[in-house]
A and B are shown apart, each in its own frame.
Chain A
Amino acid sequence: GAGVSQSPSNKVTEKGKDVELRCDPISGHTALYWYRQSLGQGLEFLIYFQGNSAPDKSGLPSDRFSAERTGGSVSTLTIQRTQQEDSAVYLCASTGTSADTQYFGPGTRLTVL
């Protein structure tokens, strides 16, 4: 596709439920990042995938958060037993040949009631 896509664009869930957020990076991009942005805040790094290497999970806030990337392309971020403090916009980004330039998707706005 032309850019990074994410789905759903909005997700409202109840506290304690599990959610899955999806990211389709730009075709051919080898690196994929997940960030979280709370209202009025900057971007908080969550996890980074590079090719077939083990992901850098150093930003995941708790063991309720996990992510996988299948076939080096699509990635899914899973949040188990959601809490109200998980409410935020979850952004995905990918990079290509210019290793540092990250292209962001439109984000998924998660609201935990």
Chain B
Amino acid sequence: QKEVEQNSGPLSVPEGAIASLNCTYSDRGSQSFFWYRQYSGKSPELIMFIYSNGDKEDGRFTAQLNKASQYVSLLIRDSQPSDSATYLCAVPHSGSARQLTFGSGTQLTVLP
């Protein structure tokens, strides 16, 4: 099993809808979780991180963490075409807390 798994997509949603991106991880000891957004041809940029079970909201973005089920999700409300990008989930590496292991990313397209 890969350390971090994401559905590769592509995921298409209409403008204004909620986009739901999911990520599962294998290391039960993981304490922190990160969502990066990567536009085509650009480098990843951090959009959210979450440490505690439950929800964390930041503007239109909500990260949800369920450590018992080992998944973390990202919800994007009122999706905009500018949200079209690949979303990468990252979890500290099981062997070194200072490394991040990235999922392969989910490609999101928001249709106008």
Contact = CB atoms under 8 A, between A and B. Distances in A.
Nearest to A3: B43
B93 A45 contact: yes
Interface stretch (A14-22, A73-81, A103-111): A103-111
A85 interface: no
A65 interface: no
A50 B43 CA distance: 22
Contact of B100 (A50, A100, A105): A100
Point out which of B34, B102, B104 has the most chain A C-beta atoms below 10 A from its C-beta: B102
B44 A43 contact: yes
A104 B45 contact: yes
9 contacts: A35-B102, A42-B104, A43-B102, A56-B98, A56-B99, A58-B95, A99-B98, A101-B34, A101-B46
A51 to B, nearest CB: 11
Interface of B, helix, strand, loop or mixed by DSSP: strand
Contacts of B102: 35, 42-43
B86 to A, nearest CB: 9
B99 A43 contact: no
Contacts, number: 49
B42 interface: yes
A91 B43 contact: yes
Interface string B63-95: 000000000000000000000000010001101
Given A42-B105, A56-B96, A102 B88 contact: no
